[in-house]
Amino acid sequence: MIMLNESHIKFKHDNPFTIGIEEEYMICEPTSGNLVNKAEEIMAELDRNLIARYSYELILSEIEVNTSICNNVKEAIDEIKFLRNHTREIGKKIGYRIGISGTHPTALSKEQRFVNNDSYNWVANQLNYYAKRNITFALHVHIAVPNENYAIHISNALRRWISPLLALSCNSPFFEGMLTGMRSSRTMQFGAFPRTNIPKEFKDFQEYEKLINDFMKIDSIEKPRQVWWKIRPHMDFGTIEFRMCDMQRSLKNVELIVALCQALVHQAVDDFDNGKLIESFNMEYLNDALWKASRFPLESKIIDPVSNDVSSIIDQIRLMKKYVKKSMEHFKNLDILKRLDYLIEHGTEFDEQIQTFENKGMDELKLSLMDFVEYN
């Protein structure tokens, strides 16, 4: 039996609620906005001290950056600003610009080339055609928790907020040149992969460990991080990882999502310590809300997973805002919540893409995904 021993479990943080951010960028040809396969060239340009801040994704037209462990939201956003600017400077040298969207609007799956390493070769062999269709770009947020027991119970509880977080970040209406009708087509494309769903409730760490061990025994996965749920305990980092959000051009949007994730974890830990944490939900309601958030406007009706009453996505966003207020105050991030109200009133980056496409067409849309990336 393959055990998740101490080498796999990196909890016991001196300072829980620290932050890590991962951003996945489109590597674009500067004049057209089409994808170009330059991930290997980018990695070759990196100084030794920055190698750890970059990593490959599945396809060569995508590059990931990741922050170090950050003590607060401001520190994390400052690192993202640096990494965006550094990636832009490399592009000036080797001939690309970064673009940001949850999916590239026109890239074709048949034209994608895989990164050649053991990890991604395994994924490519497992998924085959659907691996090449994963032309997707996500924002992932890590929040440290005290130990693996907290990680399981907090992940259980925070499943109720997956759909509100996705709804605020929707930014991928197009795929392979088609207006898909989805607000987040990334959710659908990546959802073709196994183990990308909303996870079940686990009663304890041992039940989670057994599931991972079972998957490894039957070669469904090679390592725990190949379980790609919308929210998951990350045993390598000792964090809870939020994986549901589309990439965001706006730094204010990134700041909001990161602050919300930190506050959600902090408040859930407080609820757990005080015997108030709600962990059990009807999975059909959670999955329906995920579908609605990825497909329909914020006013769409869903079932509240706690009360089982009729609600809406926008109602759940407002409940989430109320739930995190105390923790946002604790971290001195209360002003950041104003951005949530702005997105409710003015729309998400999905709406920006649709407006640009309708007013100026696809070619201008692709340019806008590079032109409106925020760096400072």
- Model confidence pLDDT, tens digit, residues 80-115: 999 999 999 999 999 999 999 999 999 999 998 888
| C-beta separation of 73 from 259 below 8 A | yes
Mean predicted confidence (pLDDT) in 269-293: 98
Q: Which region holds residue 21: left if phi is over 0, alpha if psi is between -120 and 50, else beta?
A: beta
Mean predicted confidence (pLDDT) in 314-327: 98
* Nearest one of 104, 93, 94, 124 to 35, comparing CA atoms: 104
Dump pLDDT digits (tens) for 148-176. Answer: 999 999 999 999 999 999 999 999 999 99
pLDDT of residue 10: 64
Looking at the structure of the chain, the number of domains it has is 1
DSSP-derived secondary structure for 280-326: ---HHHHHHHHHHHHHS-TT-EEE-TTT-SEEEHHHHHHHHHHHHHH
Please determine, for residue 7, whether its predicted confidence score (pLDDT) is greater than 80. Answer: no
What is the dihedral sign for C-alpha 239, 142, 39, 223? positive
Dump pLDDT digits (tens) for 57-77. Answer: 989 999 999 999 999 999 999
* Nearest one of 132, 82, 137 to 111, comparing CA atoms: 132
Is residue 1 domain-resident? no
Question: In sequence order, what are the residues at sequence separation of 6 or more whose Cβ sits closer than 8 angstroms to the Cβ of residue 292?
Answer: 163, 300, 301, 302, 313
Is residue 200 domain-resident? yes
pLDDT of residue 4: 53
- The token duo for 306 is 């706690």
Residue type, 40: E
pLDDT of residue 289: 98
- Of 167 and 196, the one with more pLDDT: 167
Q: How far apart are CA 360 and CA 258, in angstroms?
A: 32
Please determine, for residue 8, whether its predicted confidence score (pLDDT) is greater than 60. Answer: no
Tell me 17's DSSP state: T
| C-beta separation of 317 from 168 below 8 A | yes
| C-beta separation of 314 from 298 below 8 A | yes
Helical axes 313-330 vs 162-169, angle rounded to 10°? 100
Is residue 6 domain-resident? no
Question: What is the pLDDT confidence band of residue 299, given thresholds at 50, 70 and 90?
Answer: very high
* Nearest one of 57, 53, 67, 54 to 35, comparing CA atoms: 57
* Nearest one of 209, 197, 194, 201 to 155, comparing CA atoms: 201
User: Which CATH number covers residue 128?
Assistant: 3.30.590.20
Q: In angstroms, what CA-CA distances link 372 with 5, 91, 248, 349, 364?
A: 45, 16, 10, 11, 12
pTM, entire model: 0.96
Look over the chain and give the mean of its residue pLDDT values, rounded to a whole number.
94
Domain range spanning residue 104?
19-371
Is residue 118 domain-resident? yes
pLDDT of residue 9: 59
pLDDT of residue 19: 98
| C-beta separation of 201 from 350 below 8 A | no
Q: In angstroms, what CA-CA distances link 209 with 6, 212, 273, 318?
A: 12, 5, 23, 34
